[in-house]
Structure 1
Amino acid sequence: MDLTRFTPPELLLLHSKVADELRDRGITRSSNNPTGDLAEYLFCKAFGWTQAGNSQANVDAIGSDGKRFQIKGRRVTRFNKSRQLSAIRDMAGSHFDYLAGILFNEDYTVLRAALIPHAVALAKATYVAHTNSHRFLLRDDIWNAPDVRDVTTQLQSVEF
């Protein structure tokens, strides 16, 4: 598709319609940036987890075994290579058992994904006082941490 022929208002309209269609198909749950919603969708679809309600704090999904997951995603682009996930609130409260983290390529294909035990995530995170949250960077070394499970292949194989 040659997007150069579209005016800025037409591109914004297209963006809006794509966002609506993704929501209608159940891939996203909000009208926000699709990264977080897509991360939740892929993890839940890959592992059969149940998505928590939008209002449930600190837990995004629950496994059939009762394990609780906080799901975070980051899209790495040529303009921003940061691997910092969005803020994790009340991390010390142990509201989740695993941090499910995913890195997307610029085109939203899966670059890498991991299931990180809460204790490992907490040890690798940094507390940020002015946001009262923890910052977590999904660096390559996390896949070598104890009990971290590489689930890249499982998420790459999700069809939708």
Structure 2
Amino acid sequence: MAGSHPLDELKSQELLALYGGILDELVRREVIRSRNAPAGDLAERLVQDAYDGELAPPSEKSWDVRTPEGLLLQVKCRVVGDSSRPGQYSFFRSWDFDTCVFVTFTREYQLVKATEVPAASIQAIASFSDHVKGSRVTISKISALPPGSIDVTDRIAEAYERLP
């Protein structure tokens, strides 16, 4: 119903300005690193905090977080809506990491699930796309818990609760 939410009254340009301000504040708080759509940066930050790790430099191609033990973690994130279509995570174009933490959020950025999966298990279930020269993995394949998977939802949720 129109007018039922304060944001309904704002013009698109006003919403975008508000969104930009929100992104600025999240960068200032070091919750995200860029002003791109925040899901990927947010997931990386949560994994960094949950594993007490170190973020990779922004242009690193194969991993996102290095743990104190030296494990290289790739982080893949997806925001899901009400669609019945199976979503997929962004493509893998290299396999130079130990494990991947797959993080799924609702549209409102509520944590749905987080799963740690060894690189070898991901390679076994991934589908290669010649068009993009990368391998894709769907949410449903990760939800089926490939061999060696660990549900780390609680661990990521605790990190989320600690954010400023």
User: Does structure 2 retain, via aligned residues, the 8 Å contact 1:60–1:69?
Assistant: yes
Q: C-alpha distance in 2, partners of 1:125/1:140? A: 9
Q: What displacement does 1:83 show?
A: 2.6
CA RMSD of aligned residues (A): 1.6
Mapped pair 1:21 → 2:21: no
Counterpart of 1:83? 87
What secondary structure sits across from 2:21 in the alignment? Answer: helix
Structure 1 match to 2:131: 130
Write the distance in 1 (CA, Å) between the matches of 2:122 and 2:61.
17
Q: What is the match of residue 6 of structure 1? A: 10
Specify the SS of the correspondent of 1:78. Answer: coil
Alignment correspondent of 1:104: 105
**Runs ≥4 in structure 1, deviation > 3 angstroms?**
79-82, 140-144
Q: List runs of 5+ in structure 2 lacking aligned partners.
A: none
Query: C-alpha separation between the residues in 2 aligned to 1:148 and 1:85?
Result: 16
Q: Write out per-residue CA displacement over residues 75-129 of structure 1, whole angstroms, 9 at most, x where no aligned residue.
A: 00125754311111123xxx00001101111211110001100110111111111
Cα distance in 1 for residues equivalent to 2:144 and 2:137: 14
Distance 1:111 1:51, change over 3 A: same
Letter in 2 for 1:38: L
Determine whether 1:69 maps to 2:73: yes
Counterpart of 1:56 in structure 2 is 60
- The letter for the 1-side match of 2:35 is S
Partner Cα separation in structure 2 for residue 156 and residue 50 of structure 1: 19
Distance in structure 2 (CA, Å) of the matches to 1:11 and 1:142: 34
Q: What are structure 1's unaligned runs of at least 5 residues? A: none
Name the count of aligned residue pairs. Answer: 157
TM-score, normalised to structure 2, is 0.89
SS, match of residue 127 in structure 1:
strand
What percent identity do the matched residue pairs reach? 29
| Secondary structure, aligned partner of 1:4 | helix
Alpha-carbon distance in structure 1 between the residues aligned to 2:84 and 2:31: 24
Q: Where does residue 115 of structure 2 map in the other structure?
A: 114
Partner Cα separation in structure 1 for residue 101 and residue 85 of structure 2: 19
Q: Structure 2: how far apart are the matches of 1:28 and 1:141?
A: 25
1:157 maps to: 158
